[in-house]
């Protein structure tokens, strides 16, 4: 079969942020996008809960000039800066609310010895590693290589339980796993880039997905297929064959694989060993996000000005007042909503519990953190994500280049290639589209 027989120029497999961003960049080409689930968006999904916006998956847009924010601007999707007036933390049974990093540090429930150790470590991280952490992952950078070879717990050497719990919470907020399971590189990088400025998509992150899908349909004429999983992809005789589970085969000159790494390794036939090794080095951690509907305003429990409360030492690792992420003019049918989220261990535990036990566990956790909130809770909804994050394990840096490299007619993208959430997904989707367009130009020149 020759490439000329292909009905499609490009088949994009996977309709999460990476696949959608890739398809948007393939202007002027005959593009088909195939998504396994009945909806597009993957780990981006928004529901209405009593008139509040519940982002079941991704919620915060980081970096106003980053790839996700620029994509939203291009599509006319509004981002809202979160209006907050304090830096909160819940730790050792206490809610700490501070006006600045410094006052938060002063209020931390740590011994003087721990505080001195933490302060010295933070100075060292900024002075010695700050420049390397500010760069994109680069396997030739010796500082990045060092931080990639050290587990976070070994790097920080926390000597007391509260201090260890604090680092575990940071690690979980960044990768879903505890400090003993991940390399120092990614959590430290997130720590340095944690800005006090955070944005949400007006009306929910799902609105960004909707805007991309509309643009693909209306402006680009992309054929969008959903609810039909791809079973296998082969690259032979100058054509990419996309075999759907229901038996149909689509022929395309090129394919973009925008599915999680383990799925790419499973469905692409005859992968070269260097690519298979890199894809198999990636594993996934679980997350749960929870919507607590309330009969009282969330500010009764999360004091005014708190939009997001990082939590140390509990099953939930953070709570958000959904009021801040919901359009102010949206009519409300309940008085308040709190969004909670967990790391891997708790999400895994919840997945193996019966529904009632799950709710009881979550309400007990909520009540321990914000006393009285569980009594005001009228409904609990839980989203369990089995592949929420691809945590940065020790030694990942050496796979970075191979993860991004195409194999023949197949190009790869997704947040496992550049694990920085939606920004990584969008960036690598756009990068795969650029690689593919360059390859087409090369083929045309020959
Ligand atoms: C609870 C939670 C909170 C998060 N919070 C944030 C946040 O605040 N900010 C942030 O930036 N990021 C956040 N993230 C991470 C962010 O959602 C992801 O990094 C990003 O959406 C990943 O996009 P992706 O396209 O790489 O992967 P995915 O979204 O996983 O997309 C892959 C797609 O491929 C499809 N697929 C799989 N197999 C097949 C097949 N065989 N055939 C066809 N299609 C297939 C899947 O159904 C899916 O739609 C969060 C994630 C979770 C789970």
Does the CB atom of residue 14 touch ligand 1 within 6 A? yes
Q: Please, which residues bridge with residue 88 across strands?
A: 97
Does the CB atom of residue 173 touch ligand 1 within 6 A? no
Note the pTM of the prediction, 2 decimals. 0.96
Find, among 436, 438, 417, the residue nearest to 426 by Cα. Answer: 417
Question: Which residue has its alpha carbon closest to ligand 1 atom 48?
Answer: 42
What pLDDT sits at residue 446?
58
Question: Which residue has its alpha carbon closest to ligand 1 atom 49?
Answer: 42
Alpha-carbon distance 106 to 114, whole Å? 12
What's the gap in Å between 105 CA and the centre of ligand 1?
Answer: 34
Residues 286, 292, 297, 299, CA torsion sign: negative
Compute the mean pLDDT over every residue in the chain, rounded to the nearest whole number. Answer: 94
Does the CB atom of residue 422 touch ligand 1 within 6 A? yes
Does the CB atom of residue 415 touch ligand 1 within 6 A? yes
Please name the residues in contact with 161: beta carbons below 8 A apart, sequence gap of 6 or more.
none
Tokens read off for 435 = 């690689």
Question: Which residue has its alpha carbon closest to ligand 1 atom 50?
Answer: 58
What pLDDT sits at residue 3?
46
Domains, the chain, with CATH or none: 3-42+206-283+393-445 (3.50.50.60), 46-83+197-203+285-389 (3.90.660.10), 100-193 (no CATH)
Tokens read off for 239 = 């054509």
What's the gap in Å between 83 CA and the centre of ligand 1?
Answer: 27
Does the CB atom of residue 230 touch ligand 1 within 6 A? yes
What pLDDT sits at residue 194?
62
Mean pLDDT of 344-350: 98
Alpha-carbon distance 105 to 115, whole Å? 8
Q: Is residue 207 predicted with pLDDT exceeding 90?
A: yes
What's the gap in Å between 81 CA and the centre of ligand 1?
Answer: 23
What's the gap in Å between 280 CA and the centre of ligand 1?
Answer: 18
Q: Is residue 1 predicted with pLDDT exceeding 50?
A: no
Tell me the per-residue pLDDT of 405-421, one tens digit each, with 9 for 90 and over: 999 999 999 999 998 89
Question: Which residue has its alpha carbon closest to ligand 1 atom 1?
Answer: 57
What is the CB neighbour count within 10 angstroms for residue 94? 11
391 — alpha (psi -120 to 50), left (phi > 0) or beta? beta
What's the gap in Å between 288 CA and the centre of ligand 1?
Answer: 13
Tell me how many degrees the CA angle 436-439-442 measures, rounded to the nearest 5: 155
Q: HSE-up of 29 (CA within 13 Å, CB side)? A: 25
What is the CB neighbour count within 10 angstroms for residue 187? 25
DSSP readout, 366-424? HHHHSTTTTTTEEEEEEEEEEEEE----TTGGGGHHHHH--BTTEEE-STTTS-SHHHH
Question: Which residue has its alpha carbon closest to ligand 1 atom 12?
Answer: 421
């Amino acid at each position: 079969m020759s490439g000329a027989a292909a009905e499609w120029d490009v088949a994009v497999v996977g309709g999460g942020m990476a696949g959608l961003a890739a398809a948007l960049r393939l202007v002027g080409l005959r593009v088909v996008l195939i998504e396994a689930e009945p909806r597009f968006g993957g780990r981006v999904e928004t529901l209405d809960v009593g008139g509040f916006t519940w982002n079941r998956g991704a919620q915060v847009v980081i970096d106003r000039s980053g790839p996700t924010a620029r994509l939203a601007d291009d599509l006319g999707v509004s981002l809202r800066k979160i209006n907050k007036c304090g830096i909160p933390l819940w730790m050792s049974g206490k809610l700490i609310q501070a006006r600045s990093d410094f006052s938060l540090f002063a209020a931390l429930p740590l011994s003087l010895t721990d505080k001195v150790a933490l302060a010295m470590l933070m100075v060292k991280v900024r002075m010695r590693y700050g420049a390397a952490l500010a760069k994109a992952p680069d396997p030739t950078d010796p500082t990045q290589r060092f931080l990639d070879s050290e587990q976070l717990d070994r790097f920080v050497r926390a000597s007391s339980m509260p201090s260890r719990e604090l680092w575990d919470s940071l690690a979980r907020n960044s990768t879903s796993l505890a400090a003993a399971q991940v390399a120092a590189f990614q959590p430290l990088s997130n720590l340095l880039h944690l800005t006090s400025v955070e944005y949400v998509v007006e009306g929910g992150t799902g609105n960004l997905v909707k805007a991309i899908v509309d643009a693909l349909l209306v402006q680009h004429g992309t054929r969008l297929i959903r609810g039909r999983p791809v079973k296998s992809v082969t690259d032979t005789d100058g054509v990419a064959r996309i075999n759907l589970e229901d038996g149909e085969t689509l022929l395309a000159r090129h394919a973009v694989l925008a599915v999680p790494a383990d799925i790419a390794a499973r469905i692409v036939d005859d992968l070269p060993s260097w690519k298979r090794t890199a894809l198999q080095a990636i594993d996934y951690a679980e997350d749960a996000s929870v919507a607590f509907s309330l009969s009282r305003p969330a500010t009764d429990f999360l004091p005014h000005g708190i939009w997001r409360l990082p939590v140390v030492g509990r099953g939930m690792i953070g709570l958000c007042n959904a009021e801040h992420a919901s359009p102010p003019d949206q009519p409300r049918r309940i008085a308040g909503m709190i969004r909670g989220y967990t790391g891997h261990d708790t999400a895994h535990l919840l997945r193996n519990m019966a529904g009632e036990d799950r709710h009881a566990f979550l309400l007990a956790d909520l009540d321990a953190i914000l006393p009285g909130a569980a009594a005001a809770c009228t409904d609990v909804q839980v989203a369990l994500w089995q592949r929420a994050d691809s945590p940065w394990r020790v030694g990942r840096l050496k796979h970075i280049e191979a993860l991004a490299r195409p194999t023949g007619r197949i190009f790869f993208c997704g947040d496992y290639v550049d694990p920085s959430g939606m920004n990584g997904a969008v960036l690598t989707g756009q990068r795969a589209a650029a690689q593919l367009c360059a390859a087409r130009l090369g083929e045309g020149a020959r």
